[in-house]
């Protein structure tokens, strides 16, 4: 269709009739109606009551209503859908004002300010949802100076938000992990060393998954469908080094770090080293693959002394790399 038709004309009238303006106006009217209505209301009722839906064909109305419901969900507004009769023919919608409203955490202006500084310093993926959330808590007056410290908890923030919701609302989830389908009661989320981890129980005790390796996430419909073990503490499930993570049996590796890298290895491991001296340590390893990778990142300045099987693994890995460049 050409741009000069009547449709094009309506789009270019003044700001008040801009499509985005219309959506916002309509969604606000819809939300007011759903909050104020004492009983669930049908889509038809909405259509003939709420401003902005009139003069639409059936199809156009349904598309519009679906989009507006989606906007409410993205705003985090708990839209309830209930069957209006025993046969589940008619459905009604409402927003419970109690569930809609933010429980007041009682933050002082100083506390809000501290949170806003933190949210400005720490980014979670692309956007800054934390700062937007702060508006709901009353916003903060800006005027803070430049903060020379920042952190990027780089992550797929959309999936994280969904996982966090599953954790807080205690909903079971399903996902694929390394091409294997899994079902899990998610107990907690943690960020360590640049990665997010989800801990939960899939029927074989508590296990930990790296969030960026999870795919095809589906969140269960039922909130409160499990209870978290009373003594669960996410910190206790998180390990301090990547080589502690894994299901292989734990073995003990004896390693020697040459003097020039000893201080750095000591710092990473949280042990003491004497300046200018080599460092020899015994370390428990449950993920041999990750551990060997870490040792090889020191080049020829670190050496596994035992066990012999790990020395053989290193040798074959190095041989493979050398052969690959020959």
Partner 1 sequence: MTSPRTVSRLARILALIPYVLSKDSVDVGEILDRFGYTEADLSRDLNMLFVCGLPGYGPGDLMEAYIDENEVIIDAADYFARAPRLTSTEALGLLAAGMAIIGSGQANPTLSSAVAKLTKVVLPEGEAAISVEVAGELDTIGQLRTAARELLAVRITYRSLSREEETVREIEPWSVFATLGNWYVQGYCRLVRDERVFRVDRIRLLELTDSHFERPEGVPEPGVSYSPSDDDIVCELGLSDQARWVLDYYPVEILSESRKETVIRFSSPDAQIPARLLLRLGSAARFISGAEVGETVAEIGQDLLARYP
- Max distance between CA atoms of the chain, in angstroms, equals 83
How crowded is residue 175: how many other Cβ atoms within 10 Å of its Cβ?
22
Residue closer to partner 1 by CB (options 29, 176) is 29
Residue closer to partner 1 by CB (options 16, 86) is 16
Residue closer to partner 1 by CB (options 45, 174) is 45
Please state, in angstroms and rounded to a whole number, the distance separating the CA atoms of residues 233 and 114: 26
| Shortest distance in whole angstroms from residue 147 CB to partner 1 | 9
| Shortest distance in whole angstroms from residue 272 CB to partner 1 | 14
Contacts of 305 (CB under 8 A, 6+ apart): 254, 255, 256, 280, 311
Residue closer to partner 1 by CB (options 151, 252) is 151
Residue closer to partner 1 by CB (options 91, 298) is 298
Residue closer to partner 1 by CB (options 84, 296) is 296
Q: Judge whether 83 and 90 are in contact, CB under 8 Å.
A: yes
Helix, coil or strand: residue 17: helix
| Shortest distance in whole angstroms from residue 295 CB to partner 1 | 9
The bridge status of strand 206-210 relative to strand 279-285 is: unpaired
| Shortest distance in whole angstroms from residue 173 CB to partner 1 | 13
| Shortest distance in whole angstroms from residue 157 CB to partner 1 | 6
Contacts 24+ apart (CB under 8 A), 254-257: 254/280, 254/281, 254/282, 254/304, 254/305, 254/306, 255/280, 255/281, 255/282, 255/283, 255/295, 255/302, 255/303, 255/304, 255/305, 256/280, 256/302, 256/303, 256/305, 257/281, 257/298, 257/301, 257/302
| Shortest distance in whole angstroms from residue 79 CB to partner 1 | 11
| Shortest distance in whole angstroms from residue 9 CB to partner 1 | 22
Please state, in angstroms and rounded to a whole number, the distance separating the CA atoms of residues 253 and 285: 7
Count Cα neighbours of 298 within 13 Å in the Cβ-side half-sphere: 23
Structure tokens at 61: 């109305």
Give the Cα-Cα-Cα angle 67, 69, 75 (nearest 5 degrees): 105
| Shortest distance in whole angstroms from residue 252 CB to partner 1 | 18
Residue closer to partner 1 by CB (options 83, 144) is 144
Structure tokens at 104: 């007041």
Residue closer to partner 1 by CB (options 6, 38) is 38
């Amino acid at each position: 269709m050409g741009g000069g038709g009547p449709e094009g004309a309506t789009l270019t009238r003044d700001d008040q009739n801009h499509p985005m303006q219309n959506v916002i106006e309509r969604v606000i009217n819809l939300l007011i109606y759903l909050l104020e209505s004492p009983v669930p209301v049908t889509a038809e009722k909405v259509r003939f009551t709420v401003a902005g839906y009139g003069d639409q064909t059936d199809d156009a109305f349904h598309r519009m209503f679906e989009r507006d419901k989606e906007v409410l969900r993205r705003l985090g507004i708990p839209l309830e859908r209930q069957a209006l009769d025993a046969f589940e023919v008619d459905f009604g919608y409402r927003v419970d004002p109690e569930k809609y409203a933010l429980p007041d955490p009682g933050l002082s202006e100083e506390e809000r300010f501290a949170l806003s500084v933190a949210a400005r310093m720490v980014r979670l993926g692309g956007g800054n949802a934390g700062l937007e959330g702060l508006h709901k808590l009353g916003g903060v007056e800006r005027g803070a100076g430049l903060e020379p410290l920042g952190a990027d908890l780089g992550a797929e923030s959309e999936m994280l938000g969904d996982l966090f919701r599953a954790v807080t609302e205690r909903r079971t989830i399903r996902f694929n992990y390394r091409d294997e389908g899994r079902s899990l009661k998610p107990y907690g989320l943690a960020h360590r060393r640049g990665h997010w981890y989800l801990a939960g129980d899939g029927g074989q005790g508590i296990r930990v998954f790296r969030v960026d390796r999870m795919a095809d996430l589906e969140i269960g419909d039922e909130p409160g469908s499990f209870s978290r073990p009373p003594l669960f503490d996410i910190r206790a499930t998180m390990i301090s080094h990547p080589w502690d993570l894994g299901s292989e049996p734990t073995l003990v590796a004896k390693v020697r770090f040459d003097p020039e890298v000893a201080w750095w290895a000591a710092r990473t491991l949280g042990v003491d080293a004497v300046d200018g001296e080599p460092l020899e340590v015994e370390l428990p390893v449950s993920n041999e693959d990750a551990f060997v990778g870490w040792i090889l990142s020191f080049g020829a300045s670190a050496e596994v002394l035992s066990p012999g099987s790990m020395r053989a693994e290193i040798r074959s890995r190095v041989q493979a790399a050398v052969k690959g460049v020959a």
